[in-house]
């Protein structure tokens, strides 16, 4: 009779364990991806001529030297460039911004350099040698998953490197799967994925690819994390089963 109750207790614990599952949202089923440099999508090759192109919903900061009345978020004068104060122009759904004294200007798909030159030429109609600076305030890269500080990082440069972004996220968590790091990049309506392996010491510089604003870095967890979490669920139930067995033996 004691053995019968003990078996019932174990079956009950087994049913509870089956209901306790751990899902890793950053792990894909199937075989290992090809992480060789040759296998990377050409969209991820280094492009020394890369320039950011202004998009809808970008926040544009315009500074005109010694002309605060023409500036929006000027870094030269009294206007604070901190977006908390709203000192920027939002690119509307039509790709336009409204610039003081110039009116509506279509900026979508323009580079920062092209916009600076265009504004300088327009302001030169009544200013002598205007000095114009343009800054895009929301150029960002997201890093998610098994890093110490997942976050959205704002860039002050045209591009950065994968290891720089990982460093800004304070490095990897213990369970990080550095063999299968993913970088997502949207080009038009298509999303390209690069699978990066940083597990080999000689691969760091080779795979330290350039990242552009809008990229998303995902650091998945190793399967060991799932196993450890399942063990943390199993241990309490096995302890209960052991306690039940001891009680039945005692009586």
The percent of residues above 90 in pLDDT, for the chain, comes to 48
> Which of the listed residues 101, 136, 171 is the one where a domain comes to its end?
136
Q: Is residue 27 part of a domain?
A: no
Number of domains forming the structure of the chain: 3
Asked if 236 and 174 sit in the same domain, the reply is no
Asked if 45 and 163 sit in the same domain, the reply is yes
Give the pLDDT band of residue 121 (cuts 50, 70, 90): very high
> Which of the listed residues 136, 162, 182 is the one where a domain comes to its end?
136
Asked if 65 and 44 sit in the same domain, the reply is no
**Backbone dihedral region for residue 102 (phi beyond 0: left; psi -120 to 50: alpha; all else: beta):** alpha
Q: Is residue 28 part of a domain?
A: no
Asked if 143 and 45 sit in the same domain, the reply is yes
Q: Is residue 188 part of a domain?
A: yes
Asked if 179 and 241 sit in the same domain, the reply is no
Asked if 10 and 64 sit in the same domain, the reply is no
The percent of residues above 70 in pLDDT, for the chain, comes to 66
Q: Is residue 31 part of a domain?
A: no
Q: Is residue 30 part of a domain?
A: no
Asked if 154 and 195 sit in the same domain, the reply is yes
What is the per-residue pLDDT for 71? 87
Q: Is residue 32 part of a domain?
A: no
Asked whether the predicted pLDDT for residue 126 surpasses 80, the reply is yes
Show the domain range for 164: 37-49+139-220
State the pTM of this model: 0.70
Q: Residue 215: which CATH number? A: 3.10.560.10
Q: Is residue 73 part of a domain?
A: yes
Asked if 198 and 151 sit in the same domain, the reply is yes
Asked whether the predicted pLDDT for residue 38 surpasses 60, the reply is no
Average pLDDT value for residue range 40-64: 87
Q: From the centroid of its chain, how far is CA 75? A: 27
Asked if 154 and 204 sit in the same domain, the reply is yes
Asked whether the predicted pLDDT for residue 82 surpasses 50, the reply is no
pLDDT in tens, 8-27: 444 444 444 344 433 333 33
Asked whether the predicted pLDDT for residue 192 surpasses 60, the reply is yes
Q: Is residue 85 part of a domain?
A: yes
Distance separating alpha carbons of residues 148 and 168, to the nearest angstrom: 10
Asked if 209 and 151 sit in the same domain, the reply is yes
Asked if 44 and 144 sit in the same domain, the reply is yes
Distance separating alpha carbons of residues 37 and 209, to the nearest angstrom: 10
> Which of the listed residues 70, 102, 136 is the one where a domain comes to its end?
136
Higher pLDDT, 249 or 214: 214
What is the per-residue pLDDT for 165? 97
Asked whether the predicted pLDDT for residue 218 surpasses 70, the reply is yes
Asked if 147 and 206 sit in the same domain, the reply is yes
């Amino acid at each position: 009779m004691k053995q019968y109750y003990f078996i019932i207790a174990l079956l009950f614990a087994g049913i509870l364990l089956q209901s306790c599952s751990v899902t890793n949202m950053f792990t894909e089923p199937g075989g290992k991806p090809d992480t060789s440099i040759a296998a990377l999508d050409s969209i991820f090759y280094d492009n020394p001529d890369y320039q950011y192109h202004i998009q809808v919903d970008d926040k544009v900061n315009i500074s005109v030297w010694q002309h605060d009345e023409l500036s929006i978020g000027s870094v030269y004068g009294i206007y604070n460039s901190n977006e908390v104060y709203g000192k920027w122009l939002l690119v509307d759904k039509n790709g336009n911004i409204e610039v003081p004294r110039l009116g509506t200007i279509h900026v979508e798909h323009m580079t920062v350099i092209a916009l600076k030159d265009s504004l300088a030429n327009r302001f030169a109609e009544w200013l002598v040698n205007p000095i114009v600076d343009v800054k895009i305030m929301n150029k960002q890269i997201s890093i998610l998953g098994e890093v110490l500080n997942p976050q959205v990082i704002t860039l002050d440069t045209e591009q950065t490197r994968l290891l720089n972004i990982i460093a800004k996220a304070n490095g990897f968590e213990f369970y990080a799967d550095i063999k299968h790091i993913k970088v997502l990049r949207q080009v038009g309506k298509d999303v390209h994925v690069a699978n990066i392996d940083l597990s080999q010491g000689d691969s760091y510089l080779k795979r330290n690819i350039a990242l552009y604003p809008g990229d998303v870095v995902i650091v998945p967890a190793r399967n060991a994390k799932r196993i450890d979490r399942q063990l943390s669920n199993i241990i309490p139930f096995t302890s209960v089963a052991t306690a039940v067995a001891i009680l039945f033996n005692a009586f």
